[in-house]
Amino acid sequence: MNYVKPQDIHAILEAAIAIARGAGEIHLRHFRHAGLRIDNKLNDSDVVTTADREAEAFIISEINRRFPDHSVLSEESGASGNPDSGLRWIVDPLDGTTNFSQGLPLFCVSICVNDGTDDLVGVVYNPYLNELFHAVRGGGAWLNGKSIQCSDKTRLQTAVVATGFPVDKGTNPDNNLENVARIMPDVRGLRRLGSAAMDLAYVGAGFLDAYWEMDLHEWDVAAGRLIAKEAGARYTIWRDNNDRGICGLAASPGIYHLLLQRLV
């Protein structure tokens, strides 16, 4: 683990928040705009927009300007910067792109700083809803400056949980439907918000009681999992399968094992 002085952590957090807000302004300039360009990546379920690209360019430029010795891992452009710095920014410039492209207001910018061993700082910002979540390792989790805690539920029958599906869900039968069929009858409600970062942050705030998904990437989960964990939620990789990316589960402690035993 790379030791980072408390004052440097504070500076990193303040920068991450400022950069997230700047990216959010870019989101809002393009949101529900008739001229938004939407392109496919892997297939029709995997899209990228002008807002993704502009927000990413802004974020990387700001990181390089403020912390030229740090490295960056970002969804659209991959790895860049100094790999030996010990501090890596993990960025999803627009998480929830499908929602964004449809005019649905569940999208965000996700920024995490990792010290080489674990997540150090996490920021998830939805500019449309004006929800800014942040966490520092060992320092709790916050929404718009107020401390948050995960829910204290202990029964699945009262739980509202969220999930998502891989972009190849139509061609690969290993697509999470079996888990949905097993879990949905046992919970109060099942939601599909369309943004992993927001799902995880919402678990931290207690708006959701749990969230699981498969075929995720570091930029999808890094900031949100720190927020969820610092808010008291349990987080784990529920399936170790390199073919399906990160399979993450975040849940309030009282229902964590009840969900874990149902996931395959």
The pLDDT tens digits of the residues spanning 205-240 come to: 999 999 999 999 999 999 999 999 999 999 999 998
3.30.1490.20, 1.10.3720.10, 3.40.190.80, 3.60.20.10: which CATH number matches 156-260?
Answer: 3.40.190.80
Q: What is the pLDDT of residues 75-93, one digit of tens each?
A: 888 899 888 888 999 999 9
Q: What is the pLDDT of residues 22-55, one digit of tens each?
A: 999 999 999 999 888 877 756 655 567 899 999 9
Q: Exposed, middle or buried: residue 69 (CB in 10 Å: 0-12, 13-18, 19+)? A: exposed
Instruction: Determine the topology of domain 6-147 in CATH.
Output: Fructose-1,6-Bisphosphatase; Chain A, domain 1 (3.30.540)
CA gap 196, 229 in Å, rounded: 15
Q: Exposed, middle or buried: residue 15 (CB in 10 Å: 0-12, 13-18, 19+)? A: buried
This prediction's pTM? 0.95
The continuous run of DSSP H or E covering 195 comes out as: none
